[in-house]
A and B are shown apart, each in its own frame.
Chain A
Amino acid sequence: MSAVLEAGLVSVLNGFAIGFLLFILAIGLSLVFGMMDVLNLAHGALFLGGAYLGTAFVGARPSWGAFLAALAVAAVAGLAAGGALSLMTEPLRKRSHLDQALLTLGVALVVAELLTIVFGDDPLTIAAPPGLNGSIGILGITYPAYRLALIGVGAVLALVVYLVVDRTRVGALIRATVADREMVATLGVDNRLVKAAVFAVGSLLATTAGVLGGPVYGARPGLDAAVLILALVVVVIGGLGSARGALVGALIIGQVDTLGRALLPDLASFILFGALALVLVLRPQGLFGGAHGTVPAR
């Protein structure tokens, strides 16, 4: 019986680790989508880019310096990439949202292929920084220290992002742009700048999540698509443009995914889809979605 409990606890902890990572990843996607209706399909490629940066800096010789350097470089690269993506979608402003999504899809293919050219086809791993590479005992079980740290860092980051979006002036501007960007524009705010800033910070979070997730997920071709799907599912379940929704959605998906993999490994992907379907049927706009929901009822 206690073995079952221990397995359950490990699964719950894994779920939290993945959940917080997913939140960091999904929040940028959600805000850009909710604000400007730009579905950034290159978001997964940004995550993978961060993960590969982690392998380049850390590789098999882990040290705190290398790990922090990887985080810093990934953050700067993410900012630049987000700014570039925002610029690239700007000429398509007048065209359909679909065209913008297709553009980012093309960018995603290019970035993923460039990463394969530079880093090769083989799955790479990133060692956790020293001190976090072992296991520690918690509540009577042994658990990888890095994942525990990931839960802590993820929770702090999630809290910071959440507070910024929900409690500050900048956050109010972002939420106002999500709600009604024409109105914000009439108030004298250039919402292209808001979009570019959110795009850049969202991409920064994506690449950072790639480095942070490196010791868990590693870096391999195809990871970009897998991660993108998870983030999209989180965004759909949580509701567009809602920080709270992204947080709750990410934690739910983290738990559902790990629990599914632990209990019914063959059906794990169905369970994820099932959760998505359930939310869409019962609450088409997502758990915390506003008036303009995921499935337009207009």
Chain B
Amino acid sequence: MRTLSALTAAPTRSGGSAPTARRPRRWGALTGALVVVVLATAPLFLAPFATTTLTRILVFALFAVSLDLLVGVTGLPSLGHAGYFGAGAYAAGWVSLNVTAEMPVPLLAGAAVGALAAALTGWITVRSRGVFFLMLTLAIGETLQQVAETWQSVTGGANGLTGIPSTRIAGQPLTNAGFVHWYVLVFFLAGFGLVWMVARSRFGAALRGIRDNEPRMRALGYPTALYKYATFVLAGGVAGIAGALLVAQQRLVTPADLGFTTAAFALLAVIIGGAGSLWGACVGAALVIVIRDALGPSLGGHGTLVLGIVFVVVVYGLPRGVAGLRRLRRNGTDR
């Protein structure tokens, strides 16, 4: 996952890079626009169940993209990111139940609580990196899950929060699967855009520098710990937004939503897609949700088994994920 850096980092600073690098990007923009059009029109010709699956993919994709900002861009492999996703989901659900489900409130609550949880725990995780970071975030994610299970009065304990009212826009509840899909799509695009802009900014270039050689970045005068901390909090906030969208879609939160398996699946999505590639993370998320939710029932509810096997296969065979495949091909034709 380290080898991506030179290729992705180069065009960010110098606007007019080599023409060979430009052509695929224009194609990328076209493909992106096409995907957005398909996603936006999907509810018009898809059955409600398929639409709901697509919505779930978008929610999980935003979650995976926020994780990719940590894993792929900054080189911080987190196994506790579901904690912030779940924290945002619980916050949005609690606010919808107890205060109001009127539109920006649950979303803002999710983002704020996700970022806050990341801010409270991040100061200790960003002191480490690599496998150690993985270990610490795993411990934190598990801690957050236990909080969700034991803090009965707020989180509903092991049963989670149930009967969460639909999100309302200007007093109108979003009950139709299509409307929910469009609502989720809008904020998926906003969240994706935010992460994409951060990853392409000078700040993002510095993050890639930290990923590839932190001591050097520190020697160049970058406050690397601060950069990592800021990224961690930002990723937590975006994960919180994804959590709020999850609540808007399934109107239920359980401790499983911030558990080990959810965190592992998000990491799997990022790895399948190829760490550092934001669209790759979305492809990975789609695969995870399709296997878990759509094919899961026909596999006797054991989608996890298939995903575990996929995980093993990807680690062996596709170290740079789906995005790595494309890069491999492009390098082959360009040279």
- On whether the beta carbons of B260 and A266 are closer than 8 Å, the reply is no
> A95: CB under 8 A from chain B?
yes
CA distance A98 to B267 in the complex (A): 12
A166 touches B (CB below 8 Å): no
Contact among A41, A114, A270 for B143, CB-based, below 8 A: A270
Residues of A within 8 A of B226 (CB): none
B130 vs chain A, min Cβ distance (A): 6
How many whole Å from B297's CB to the nearest CB in chain A?
Answer: 15
Determine if B264 and A266 form an interchain contact, defined as CB atoms under 8 angstroms apart: no
Residue among B147, B260, B300 having the largest count of chain A Cβ atoms under 10 Å: B260
Question: What sequence of 0s and 1s flags, for each residue 91-121 of chain A, a beta carbon within 8 Å of any chain B beta carbon?
Answer: 1100111110111011111101110110000
A105 to chain B, nearest CB (A): 6
Report if A106-B312 is in contact (Cβ < 8 Å); known contacts: A225-B260, A226-B142, A276-B139.
yes
Interface of A is mostly: helix
Give A81 Cβ to nearest chain B Cβ, in Å: 15
Q: How many angstroms between the C-alpha atoms of A12 and B128 in the bound complex?
A: 33
**CB <8 Å contact, B316 and A103:** yes
Contact with B along A264-277 (1 / 0, CB 8 A): 01101110110011
State which of A97, A98, A110, A222 has its C-beta within 8 Å of the C-beta of B305. A110
Among candidates A106, A232, A269, A277, residue contacting B135 with C-beta atoms closer than 8 Å: A232
Q: Which chain A positions have C-beta within 8 A of B134?
A: 39, 98, 101
Does any Cβ of B come within 8 Å of A197's Cβ? no
Q: Residues 223-241 of chain A: 1 if any B CB is under 8 Å from the residue's CB, otherwise 0?
A: 0011011001100100000
CB–CB B315/A99 < 8 A: yes
**CA gap between A113 and B132 in the complex, in Å:** 26
- A140 lies within 8 A of chain B by Cβ: no
B131 lies within 8 A of chain A by Cβ: yes
The verdict on B17 contacting chain A, using a C-beta distance below 8 Å, is: no
How distant is A89 from chain B, measured CB to nearest CB, in Å?
10
Q: Is A216 an interface residue (CB 8 A)?
A: no
Given contacts A113-B304, A266-B151, contact A295 B128 (CB under 8 A): yes
Contact residues in A for B215 (Cβ distance below 8 Å): 298
CA distance A232 to B80 in the complex (A): 14
Question: Contact flags (1/0) for B124-158 with A, using CB distance below 8 Å?
Answer: 10011111101110111011001100110000000
**Does A294 contact B128, Cβ atoms closer than 8 Å?**
yes
Q: Judging by beta carbons under 8 Å apart, are A102 and B267 in contact?
A: yes
Contacts of B307 in A (CB 8 A): 109
Contacting residue for B139 out of A229, A268, A295, CB 8 A: A229
Contact A109 B142 (CB under 8 A): no
Using an 8 Å CB-CB cutoff, how does the interface string of B291-308 with A read, 1 for contact, 0 for none? Answer: 000000000101011011
> Any chain A CB within 8 A of the CB of B173?
no
Residues of B within 8 A of A236 (CB): 132, 135-136, 139
Interchain Cβ contacts within 8 Å, total number? 121
CB-CB under 8 A from A229, the residues of chain B are 138-139, 142
Which chain B residues lie closer than 8 Å to A99 at the CB level?
Answer: 315, 319
Tell me which of B121, B143, B310 has the highest count of chain A C-beta atoms within 10 A of its own C-beta. B143
Q: In angstroms, how far is the closest chain B Cβ from the Cβ of A275?
A: 11
Please give, as numbers and ranges, the residues of chain A lying within 8 Å of B260 by CB-CB distance: 222, 225
B160 within 8 A of A: no
Name the CB-closest residue of B to A233.
Answer: B139
Taking the complex as formed, is A280 at the interface, i.e. its CB lies under 8 A from any CB of chain B?
yes
The reply to whether A113 and B316 contact each other, CB–CB distance below 8 Å, is no
A113 to B309, CA, bound (A): 11
B62 at the interface (CB under 8 A from A): no
Known interface pairs A109-B307, A295-B132; A269-B146 also in contact (CB < 8 Å) = yes
A:208-251 near B, CB below 8 Å = 222, 225-226, 228-229, 232-233, 236
Q: Does A296 contact B (CB under 8 A)?
A: yes
Q: Is the CB of B124 within 8 A of A105?
A: no
Q: Find A280's partner among B124, B309, B312 (CB 8 Å cutoff).
A: B124
In the complex, whether B116 has a CB less than 8 A from a CB of chain A is no
Interface pair B132/A102, CB less than 8 Å apart: no
Query: Chain A nearest CB: distance from B184 CB in Å?
Result: 27
Question: Contact between A272 and B143 (Cβ–Cβ < 8 Å)?
Answer: yes
Taken together as a complex, chains A and B put the C-alpha atoms of A236 and B134 apart, in Å, by 12
**C-alpha gap A242/B141 in the complex (Å):** 26
Residues of chain A at the chain B interface (Cβ within 8 Å): 37, 39, 41, 91-92, 95-99, 101-103, 105-110, 112-114, 116-117, 222, 225-226, 228-229, 232-233, 236, 265-266, 268-270, 272-273, 276-277, 280-281, 284, 294-296, 298
A-B contact pairs, 13 of them (CB 8 A): A91-B316, A102-B311, A102-B315, A105-B267, A107-B308, A109-B311, A113-B302, A266-B150, A276-B136, A280-B124, A280-B127, A294-B132, A295-B128
